[in-house]
């Protein structure tokens, strides 16, 4: 419960055994395993590879509470959808993050798109019930449907929270101008995953006026109020995973590992200050 895990997106070249070693070296407790083309577990081999990965990490004392699917894993008729959920059930991985439904406010009708997505989620909920898993949608800026909790509520409200979940990301809520506590109030009963990443934004000149620019920064150096975020999670009794994304694409490798180590320490302190030293089963 409340494991600090790492989204393996940035560790594409690492084998599952190497992932286990990295987790022990840097002190986090498991992975949100990226199941995309080119990764050790991918849509083509998920039926066998996910179970093997889960067993390898479990033997190392690590968890895979969730996986993240390909960006095109959006509807339950995707040919990889049911094999992925079947593999999750066999591997005892219970949370799946979908890809992103994009939205063009100039050419698309918002409420028509909401209807289409809710129809897809109805199908997902049926599959999720069959395999005892939960399908989660991530708040993400840049004209994605469900870009903050208010928009996400349009998509998921009314579904059974055993099978459809909310993935709140404080970074993207900052970018979209939504207070974490306010967003949490709208989707609290669906909250299943929380992202751990920070952001700094500023004014940038554009055609003689202003625009917003931003950069992902190490935790604690940005604009996310982590004290408030963790206090709100404590207030509502949150028990799910806490997923570090570590999306530092333009830094030297040594700097990446330095930031990762610092972020693990930062979030472990936040968790201990919020829930106490034994915040998770097996946490040191």
pLDDT per residue as tens digits for the range 264-277: 999 999 999 999 96
Of the candidates 186, 190, 144, 146, the one whose C-alpha atom is nearest the C-alpha of residue 166 is 190
Summarize the confidence of residues 150-158 as an average pLDDT.
Answer: 98
CA-to-CA distance for 146 and 103, rounded, in angstroms? Answer: 10
Per-residue pLDDT tens digits for 184-202: 999 999 999 999 999 999 9
What pLDDT is attached to residue 129? 98
Q: What's the pLDDT at 250?
A: 82
pTM: 0.94
CA 180 to chain centre: 15
Residue 171 makes CB contacts below 8 A (sequence gap 6+) with: 195, 197, 198, 199, 216, 222, 224
**Dihedral Cα 46, 14, 239, 27, nearest 10 deg:** 160
pLDDT the model gives residue 278: 61
Instruction: Count CA atoms closer than 13 A to 223's CA, side-chain side.
Output: 16
Mean pLDDT score, 87-100:
98
pLDDT band, very low/low/confident/very high, at 282 (cuts 50, 70, 90): very low
Give the burial string for 72-98 (b: 16+ CB within 10 Å, else e).
ebbbbebebbebbbbbbeebebbbbbb
| Predicted local distance difference test score (pLDDT) of residue 13 | 95
Assess whether pLDDT exceeds 60 at residue 157.
Answer: yes
Q: In the predicted model, what is the mean pLDDT of residues 120-147?
A: 97
Task: Please give the domain boundaries of the chain with CATH numbers for all domains.
Answer: 4-275 (3.20.20.150)
In this structure, of 86-100, 164-178, 214-228, 269-283, the range with the lowest mean pLDDT score is 269-283
The percentage of the chain sitting over the pLDDT mark of 90, rounded to a whole number, equals 93
Per-residue pLDDT band for 281 (boundaries 50, 70, 90) equals very low
Q: Are strands 30-34 and 242-244 parallel, antiparallel or unpaired?
A: unpaired
Q: Which residues contact residue 173 at a Cβ distance below 8 angstroms, ignoring those fewer than 6 apart?
A: 139, 148, 149, 179, 180, 183
Cα of 59 vs its chain's centroid, Å: 24
Say if residue 58 is exposed, middle or buried (CB neighbours under 10 Å; 0-12, 13-18, 19+).
Answer: middle
Average pLDDT of the chain to the nearest whole number: 95
Does the structure show a pLDDT above 90 at 280? no
What would the mean pLDDT of 226-244 be, rounded to a whole number?
Answer: 97
Strands 134-138, 191-196: pairing is unpaired
Give yes or no for residue 68 having a pLDDT over 80.
yes
- The distance of Cα 86 from the centroid of its chain, to the nearest Å, equals 20
Q: Is the pLDDT at 283 greater than 60, yes or no?
A: no
Identify the pLDDT of residue 284. Answer: 32
pLDDT at 20: 98
DSSP string, 199-227: EEEEEEEETTEEEEEEEEE-TTSSS--HH
pLDDT of residue 145: 98
Mean pLDDT of 145-150: 97
């Amino acid at each position: 419960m409340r494991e600090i895990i790492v989204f393996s997106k940035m560790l594409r070249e690492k084998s599952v055994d190497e992932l286990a070693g990295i987790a022990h070296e840097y002190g986090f407790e498991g992975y949100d395993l990226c199941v995309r083309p080119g990764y050790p577990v991918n849509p083509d081999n998920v039926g066998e590879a996910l179970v093997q990965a889960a067993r390898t990490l479990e033997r190392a004392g690590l968890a895979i509470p969730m996986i993240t699917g390909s960006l095109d894993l959006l509807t339950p008729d995707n040919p990889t959808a049911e094999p992925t959920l079947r593999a999750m059930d066999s591997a005892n991985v219970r949370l799946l993050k979908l890809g992103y439904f994009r939205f063009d406010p100039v050419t698309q009708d918002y409420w028509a798109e909401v209807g289409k997505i809710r129809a897809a989620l109805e199908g997902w909920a049926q599959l999720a019930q069959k395999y005892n898993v939960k399908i989660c949608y991530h708040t993400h800026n840049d004209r994605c449907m469900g870009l903050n909790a208010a928009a996400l509520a349009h998509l998921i409200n009314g579904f059974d929270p055993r099978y459809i979940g909310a993935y709140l990301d404080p970074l993207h809520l900052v970018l979209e101008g939504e207070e974490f506590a306010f967003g949490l109030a709208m989707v609290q009963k669906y909250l299943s995953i929380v992202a751990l990443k920070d952001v700094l934004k500023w004014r940038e000149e554009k055609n003689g006026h202003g625009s917003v620019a931003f950069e992902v920064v190490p935790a604690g150096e940005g604009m996310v109020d982590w004290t408030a975020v963790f206090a709100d999670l404590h207030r509502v009794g949150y028990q799910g995973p806490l997923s570090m994304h570590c999306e530092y694409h333009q830094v030297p490798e040594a700097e990446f590992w330095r930031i990762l180590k610092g972020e693990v320490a930062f979030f472990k302190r936040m968790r201990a200050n919020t829930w106490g030293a034994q915040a998770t089963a097996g946490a040191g």
